[in-house]
Amino acid sequence: MSSKSEKQNLERDHSALLRRVVIPALLVILMIFFSFMAPRTFFTWYNIRNILSQSSYAIIAAVGLTFVMIGGGVDLSIGYIISLCGVVLGMLMVNYGLNMWASIFVTLIIGVLLGLFNGFIVVKLKVFPLIITLSTSMIFQGLSYTISKSATTIGFSDSFKFIGQGFIGPVPFCVILSAIVVLIAVFFLEKTYCGRYVYATGGNDNAAKLSGINTDKIRLMTYAISGFCSAFAGVVLVSRTGVSASTIGPGTEFTALSGCILGGVSLTGGEGGIIGMLCGALIITILGNGMQLMHLGTYPQFIATGTVLIAAIAFDVYQKNKKSIRKLKT
């Protein structure tokens, strides 16, 4: 019995090691490839800084999505949570003259409430989260356009713009913020009991319940974290662009989801991590950036990104099928 358990653990460790090696290796290969294809422009500090700045808000949003996916769910509404929170932030600061920090605080609270709304419906209705969050994204879209009246808000203060456009030394402040979010998330998932409960809930809901974990509360928590991270991403994005509009934010869900899947976060839950997601998100950004520097159009970028994503999904399915076959044999 113990030898079987040891064999299963060894196989699980081998699968995790494979994920940890393949994704960073792909990131390095892409960087080397584009360094040769665009030698004068790609591997420069200006371009690297640009890549990190461009991906900072998407990485923050993807951190929240990682929690949800590891917990066995998915959230397709994050793009319109960003949109709605960005619109509210702009109106509070510019239209109503509310203090910057108070406006940001209210925006983050709204993000948490929207995430809890998603989580509550998922937990209560027991419906596949893809359908629920696709539906709520339409609600958030409608609210965003209703509140903004399709208008664009500008005129933000320089102190607010510093969040997305400022620098600490040579490093963009938004990159520092995204790094802090990543480090906190890594610590939470890997070093706390709540983080282990998230993995247990996504890995096997029934077993987690039998071990005394309140899986409904854990799922609510993951969606609340996703809502918070989406709102925070909205703050960074509005600050970086200097514009608040309902059109800013939608599409981030695809980038975040692509980064998560490519980074080894399983579609069925219980597997993956923040560092893998970070590598996946950077691969997506570098792919787009490198192809632009090679003067390739938008459509070839879509083809390349879609192909990489399908390969990542196929790898995930392959790993799951191997585990299922092993279970049947034992």
Percent of the chain at pLDDT exceeding 70: 90
| Domain assignment of residue 111, given as a range | 2-329
Nearest to 248 by CA among 227, 228, 230, 261: 230
Q: Compute the C-alpha angle 18/184/86, nearest 5°.
A: 105
> 11: domain CATH number?
1.10.3470
* Greater pLDDT, 320 or 116: 116
Overall domain count for the chain: 1
What is the tens place of the pLDDT at every residue in 101-115?
999 999 999 999 999
Residue 3 pLDDT > 80, yes or no? no
What length does the chain have?
Answer: 330
Alpha-carbon separation of residue 134 from 74, 114, 194, 198, 330 (angstroms): 10, 13, 27, 22, 39
Supply φ then ψ for residue 192, to 5 degrees.
-120, 160
What is the tens place of the pLDDT at every residue in 198-236?
999 998 989 999 999 999 999 999 999 999 999 999 999
Residue 326 pLDDT > 60, yes or no? no
pLDDT at residue number 313: 76
Enter the DSSP assignment of 269.
S
Supply φ then ψ for residue 114, to 5 degrees.
-65, -40
What is the tens place of the pLDDT at every residue in 246-280?
999 998 998 899 889 888 888 888 888 999 899 98
Confidence (pTM): 0.90
What is the tens place of the pLDDT at every residue in 114-138?
999 999 999 988 888 999 999 999 9
* Crossing angle of helices 129-148 and 100-125, rounded to 10°: 150
What is the tens place of the pLDDT at every residue in 61-89?
999 999 999 999 999 999 999 999 999 99
pLDDT at residue number 324: 58
* Greater pLDDT, 282 or 21: 282
Instruction: Say which residue the tokens 């358990």 belong to.
Output: 5
